[in-house]
A and B are shown apart, each in its own frame.
Chain A
Amino acid sequence: MKKLLKKLRHSTLYIGLIMLLLLVIAAIAAPYICSYDPISQDLYATLKAPGTSEHILGTDQLGRDMLSRLLYAARTDLAVMVLAEIVPFISGIFIGMLSGYFGGRTEWIISLVTDTFIAFPYYLLVIVVAFMTGAGIHGIFITFMIVGWLVYARVAKPLTASMKNSEWVQAAKLMGYSDFRIIVREIFPNVLPQAVVVLMTDMAALLVAIVTLGYLGIGITAPTPDWGSMISEGQTLIGTAPYLSLLPGLMVVYTGISLSLIGDGLADRWR
């Protein structure tokens, strides 16, 4: 039994990857798998529970097919999740590296900014920006660019700081390499693995944020299907048709688990 558990722990990376892959494939292939259009309503077939009709996962209160809605929502939500991470990921790592490498005043200023951001109610900022740019995908991108870099900076800084005094950095300096080159070619590749591990967890958190905004009505808006708005629409019928809210939630949890497993697996591997 213990051995089985051990094997399981060692293969977390693969399990996570497979899970994620399945979802991504299903999302990409959505137009081919789903026989129904996610937005077309069929008021003669409303609120069919899963497994009771040709709609495999049932329909919602407007007769829209749940399966297609879920998969199309996956396309949107996952795409936003990945794309919105790009800028914060890179900028955060660089800010962290600069802060850790140069120390002194650079570090002091950056840490003061960091503290301010932390004290700032996160969702306040998110909501404000969402209103600023009009609800929708833009808001998410902009907000995340403003606050998303924090996590990566916080990971990169101590790593860089501890590497700064190591022998090979000193050697590189003696050889006359510029600071910039040292940071990019020596330090960055060593910071990257840890940052990627954090990326996995962060993406899961970002997905939750996207879905939360959808729930609050200020994220991805109708008619584009989004797991968050699906949950919100299903809330009133939670007693009679719980699947309306549960299914999209499960999708989010599923994605979160797979990302988490990948992150754990990578962390174990790169320790």
Chain B
Amino acid sequence: MTDKIKEKNHKAESDKSTASNRSAFNKSYRAWFIRALFRSLTVIVLVMIAVFFIIRLVPGDPAVMVLGEHADEAAVEALRQKLHLDMPAGQQFIVFIINILTSFDTGISIKYGVSCRSLVLQYAPVTLSLILLSMLITVVLTVILAFGAAMHRDGILDHMIRIIPAFTEGMPVFWVGLLLILFFAVKLGWFPVGGVGSGGTAFWKSLVLPAVTIAFGQIPPLIRSLREQLIEVLDADFVVTLKAARIPKRQIFIRHVLRNSFVPTLMLMSVNLSYLIGGTLIVEKVFAVRGMGKLLFDAISNRDFPLVQAVALYCAIFVVIISLVTDMIAHRADPRMLE
């Protein structure tokens, strides 16, 4: 997505009719981008280090966990050696780093015995689809409802939007999920009670309730933020100028109002995404969806170091990429942020 934007930028530069002040903008943008990239990588590295050491603080010997309490001493010892658990932590760390850099893998899962990377790749698509679906629902509903509230200030919609967050804030994610299951799956039978369907429609259908559950928690604060921004912008002088020039309202909204309003909300949404990683864990448990969340939970309870690291790495990368992308969009839309 961002490459396309950059490409079009270059073409615009060569199109000499009214180019914007591109060269100065691009330069400062590039400088910012490099700094942001660097910072993101630093964060990923820090997260990895933190995860590496923290998981080792959890009491319990993984080899024992895999082979069982009454396993043969020698077998346990052999497994420990195989998993490099006998080496001092520092050495383990070096092996770990080398592994990542060469095969982009954190090792063999202690419990499942296969490459962690393959496990992650196997379970990630479900979780990603879930997140995608919930983001879609979130964005669409947020924009529509916030816009409705801002345009008809003090109307019914507006009041509802101001009151409802007070209710939803206190609702645990899993409880909302259970409610949805109760009404839409058990009583109405529209959606399956849990699990992931196979094949096109069944797959997405089974993800609807979980996605709505996730969206449910995200939407109220986002609407509040967007609505506030919209109101601020709608009252601004330049909107009056545009209206005075008789530009059609729809165009004013899409081209000017929206662009001036969406950035803080976008930022909020990207911060939410980090909590979303945990959110999928719970939602996956509630709806019995076998995705990354469940994988993570099992990995931790099994003291499966490599797997935990793999999942943590995936999460950190995911979050960092999302932050970076949203930052890029925000900085492109609002060049003032570059200063």
Direct A–B contact present (CB less than 8 angstroms): yes
Residue positions of A touching B, CB distance < 8 A:
5, 112, 115-116, 118-128, 131-132, 201, 204-205, 207-208, 211-212, 215-216, 228, 231, 235, 238-239, 242, 245-246, 249, 252-257, 259-261, 264
Offer 25 A-B interface pairs, CB within 8 angstroms, sorted by A.
Answer: A5-B159, A112-B43, A118-B271, A119-B323, A120-B47, A121-B277, A123-B279, A123-B281, A124-B51, A124-B312, A126-B278, A131-B58, A131-B300, A131-B301, A132-B58, A201-B169, A215-B174, A231-B174, A231-B178, A238-B181, A245-B178, A249-B175, A256-B170, A257-B170, A261-B166
A260 touches which of B43, B166, B277, B296 (Cβ 8 Å)? B166
The answer to whether the Cβ of B244 comes within 8 Å of any Cβ in the partner chain is no
Q: Which residues of A contact B57 (CB under 8 A)?
A: 132
Q: Which residues of A contact B169 (CB under 8 A)?
A: 201, 204-205, 256, 260
The A interface is mostly helix, strand or loop, or mixed, namely helix
Q: Which residues of B contact A231 (CB under 8 A)?
A: 172, 174-175, 178
The answer to whether the Cβ of B182 comes within 8 Å of any Cβ in the partner chain is yes
The answer to whether the Cβ of B297 comes within 8 Å of any Cβ in the partner chain is yes
Q: Bound state CA distance, A120 and B78, in angstroms?
A: 34
**Given A124-B277, A235-B178, are A212 and B297 also a contact pair (CB < 8 Å)?**
no
A116 touches which of B43, B170, B311 (Cβ 8 Å)? B43
Most interface-central of A116, A126, A231, A259 (chain B CB within 10 A):
A116
Q: How far is the CB of A227 from chain B (nearest CB, A)?
A: 9
Q: Bound state CA distance, A245 and B166, in angstroms?
A: 21
- Asked whether, in the complex, the Cβ of A259 is within 8 Å of the Cβ of B170, the reply is yes
Total B residues in contact with A, Cβ cutoff 8 Å: 52
Most interface-central of A5, A125, A212 (chain B CB within 10 A):
A212
- Asked whether, in the complex, the Cβ of B320 is within 8 Å of the Cβ of A127, the reply is no
- Asked whether, in the complex, the Cβ of B275 is within 8 Å of the Cβ of A122, the reply is yes
**Given A120-B47, A121-B278, A238-B178, are A207 and B170 also a contact pair (CB < 8 Å)?**
yes
- Asked whether, in the complex, the Cβ of A124 is within 8 Å of the Cβ of B296, the reply is yes
Q: How far is the CB of A148 from chain B (nearest CB, A)?
A: 14
Q: Which residues of B contact A122 (CB under 8 A)?
A: 274-275, 277-278
Q: Which residues of B contact A259 (CB under 8 A)?
A: 170
Q: Which residues of A contact B179 (CB under 8 A)?
A: 246, 249
- Asked whether, in the complex, the Cβ of A128 is within 8 Å of the Cβ of B55, the reply is yes
Q: Which residue of A lies closest to B172 (CB)?
A: A208
